[in-house]
Amino acid sequence: MTNTDTEIEEKLEEEVPGNEKGAIVVHIEHLKKSFGTKEVLKDITFDLKQGENLVVLGKSGTGKSVAIKCLIGMLTQDEGVCEVFGKEVKDLKETELKELRQKIGFLFQSGALYDSMTVRDNLAFPLTRVLHMTDTAEIDKLIEEMLDNVGLKDAIDKMPSDLSGGMRKRIGLARTLIMKPKIMLYDEPTTGLDPITSKEISELMLTMQKKYKISSIIITHDIACARITSDRMVIMKEGVITAEGTFDELESSKDEFVRAFFK
Amino acid sequence: MEQTATSKSTKILEEVGVQMSFMGGFFRNIFRSGFEWNELIRQCYIIGYKSFGLVAITGFILGFVMTLQSIPTMKEFGAVSFVPSMVSISVIREIGPVIISLICAGKIASSIGAELGSMKVTEQIDAMDVSGANPMQYLVVTRIIACTFMIPILCVMADALAVCGGYFGSNISSDVSATLYFNKAFHSVEFSDMVPSVIKSVFFGFAIGFVGSYKGYNSNGGTESVGVAANSAVVNASLWIILLDAVAVQLTSLFVYN
CATH number, domain of A190, equals 3.40.50.300
Chain A residue with the nearest C-alpha to that of B122: A112
Shortest distance, CA A61 to any CA of chain B (angstroms): 15
- Counting the structural domains of chain A, the total is 1
Q: Give dist(CA A160, CA B140) in Å, integer.
A: 22
Q: What is the pLDDT of residue B78?
A: 87
Q: How distant is the alpha carbon of residue A52 from its chain centre?
A: 12
The per-residue pLDDT for range A185-216, each reduced to its tens digit, is 999 888 888 888 888 889 888 888 888 889 99
Q: Give dist(CA B140, CA A244) in Å, integer.
A: 43
Angle made by CA atoms B26, B28, B30, in degrees to the nearest 5: 70
* B256 confidence band (pLDDT: 50, 70, 90): confident
Q: What is the pLDDT of residue A14?
A: 46
High-pLDDT (> 70) share of chain B, %:
98
Mean pLDDT of chain B: 92
Q: Give dist(CA A187, CA A111) in Å, integer.
A: 9
Contacts of B7 in chain A (CB under 8 A): none
The per-residue pLDDT for range B84-120, each reduced to its tens digit, is 999 999 999 999 999 999 999 999 999 999 999 999 9
The per-residue pLDDT for range A105-114, each reduced to its tens digit, is 999 888 899 9
- Which residues, in sequence order, are CB contacts of A187 under 8 Å at separation 6+? A65, A68, A106, A107, A108, A109, A219
The per-residue pLDDT for range B189-200, each reduced to its tens digit, is 888 889 999 999
High-pLDDT (> 90) share of chain A, %:
44
**Could you list the residue range(s) of the whole structural domain that residue A146 is in?**
3-262
Contacts of A115 in chain B (CB under 8 A): 118-119, 122, 124
Q: Residue B130 is nearest to which of A72, A99, A110, comparing CB atoms?
A: A72
Please indicate whether, in this complex, the C-beta atoms of A129 and B122 are within 8 angstroms of each other.
Answer: no
Shortest distance, CA B134 to any CA of chain A (angstroms): 8
Please indicate whether, in this complex, the C-beta atoms of A132 and B118 are within 8 angstroms of each other.
Answer: no
Chain B residue with the nearest C-alpha to that of A129: B133
* A261 confidence band (pLDDT: 50, 70, 90): confident
Q: What is the pLDDT of residue B258?
A: 66
Please indicate whether, in this complex, the C-beta atoms of A125 and B131 are within 8 angstroms of each other.
Answer: yes
High-pLDDT (> 90) share of chain B, %:
71
Q: Kindly tell me if the per-residue pLDDT of A88 is higher than 90.
A: yes
* Cα–Cα distances in angstroms (integers) from residue B8 to residues A240, B3, B13, in the given order: 35, 9, 9
Contacts of A109 in chain B (CB under 8 A): 123
Q: What is the pLDDT of residue A127?
A: 93
Q: Kindly tell me if the per-residue pLDDT of B52 is higher than 60.
A: yes
End-to-end Cα separation, chain A, in angstroms: 44
* B3 confidence band (pLDDT: 50, 70, 90): low
Q: How many residues does chain B have?
A: 258
How is A20-51 classified by DSSP, letter by letter? Answer: STT-EEEEEEEEEEEETTEEEEEEEEEEEETT
A interface residues, B as partner, C-beta within 8 Å: 72, 74, 98-99, 101-102, 104, 106, 108-110, 112-115, 125-126, 129-130, 132, 172, 175-176, 179
Which ranges constitute the DSSP H helices of B33-130?
A: 37-47, 52-76, 83-90, 96-104, 110-121, 124-130
Q: Give dist(CA A63, CA A259) in Å, integer.
A: 20
The per-residue pLDDT for range A164-188, each reduced to its tens digit, is 888 898 899 899 989 889 999 999 8
Q: In what order do the strands lie in the sheet with A38-49?
A: A87-88, A79-84, A24-35, A38-49, A240-245, A232-237, A53-58, A215-220, A183-187, A104-107
| Contact assessment for residue A215 and residue A231, using Cβ atoms and an 8 Å cutoff | no
Please indicate whether, in this complex, the C-beta atoms of A115 and B128 are within 8 angstroms of each other.
Answer: no
The per-residue pLDDT for range B117-175, each reduced to its tens digit, is 999 999 999 999 998 888 999 999 999 999 999 999 999 999 999 999 999 999 987 78
Q: Kindly tell me if the per-residue pLDDT of A8 is higher than 50.
A: no
Chain B residue with the nearest C-alpha to that of A103: B131
- Which residues, in sequence order, are CB contacts of B168 under 8 Å at separation 6+? B60, B64, B67
Q: What is the pLDDT of residue A208?
A: 84
- Strands A232-237 and A24-35, how do they pair? unpaired
Q: Residue B124 is nearest to which of A104, A112, A130, comparing CB atoms?
A: A112
Angle made by CA atoms A61, A67, A71, in degrees to the nearest 5: 155
Please state the rounded mean pLDDT for residues B170-190. Answer: 88
Chain A residue with the nearest C-alpha to that of B135: A129
Q: Give dist(CA A44, CA A32) in Å, integer.
A: 7
Q: Kindly tell me if the per-residue pLDDT of A15 is higher than 50.
A: no
Please indicate whether, in this complex, the C-beta atoms of B124 and A113 are within 8 angstroms of each other.
Answer: yes
Burial A221-256 (b: 16+ CB within 10 A, else e): bbbebbbbbbbbbbbbbebebebebebeebbebeee
- Top residue of B131, B143, B226 to mutate, by most chain A CBs within 10 Å, is B131
Q: Residue B132 is nearest to which of A102, A109, A172, comparing CB atoms?
A: A102
Q: Give dist(CA A200, CA A164) in Å, integer.
A: 14
Q: Residue B133 is nearest to which of A74, A106, A126, comparing CB atoms?
A: A126
